[in-house]
Amino acid sequence: MSYGPPPPGNPGPPPPPGGYGTGGYGPPAGGYGPPSGGQPGFGGPPSAEPPKNYLIQNILGIISCIPLIGIIGLIFALQVNSKWTAGDYAGAESNANTAKILGIIGLVLFIINVVFWVGYFIFVVVLFGAAGTASYSGY
């Protein structure tokens, strides 16, 4: 079945207000070419440098009381640069955001761990210092 051209006297639907490309049907205003520097992951790289990978924060997170968070964050942090050089800019940004969140959690746990152990050390020193100055009478 062939539809063919419209019958005479029927020009088709009227153009949208303002012409084509301004909100109606028809080709988009920018054309169909590749985007230039638009959304990350499409076209060229959004900037010259890869995103920050938060490697140090995740390494400190491994030392904290929950090393699993630091290890997972380290894996994401190590993938940022490799995905950036492979051209997966959206993946690199996603991994950087995940590494950032896990790095912050790991860093906070590391600081809590350090504060705990410093407090414990001070407590033990004060406890033994107080025990050493106590006088005992043998009889």
pLDDT tens, residue by residue, 53-62? 999 999 988 9
Task: State the residue range of the domain holding 63.
Answer: 55-133
Residue 24 has pLDDT above 60, yes or no: no
Establish if 78 belongs to a structural domain: yes
Tally the domains of the chain.
1
Establish if 20 belongs to a structural domain: no
Whole-angstrom distance, CA of residue 41 vs CA of residue 111? 36
Q: What is the pLDDT of residues 82-139, one digit of tens each?
A: 999 999 999 999 999 999 999 999 999 899 999 999 999 999 999 988 777 766 666 6
Q: How many CB atoms lie within 10 A of CB 88?
A: 16
CA quadruple 19, 25, 28, 33: dihedral positive or negative?
Answer: negative
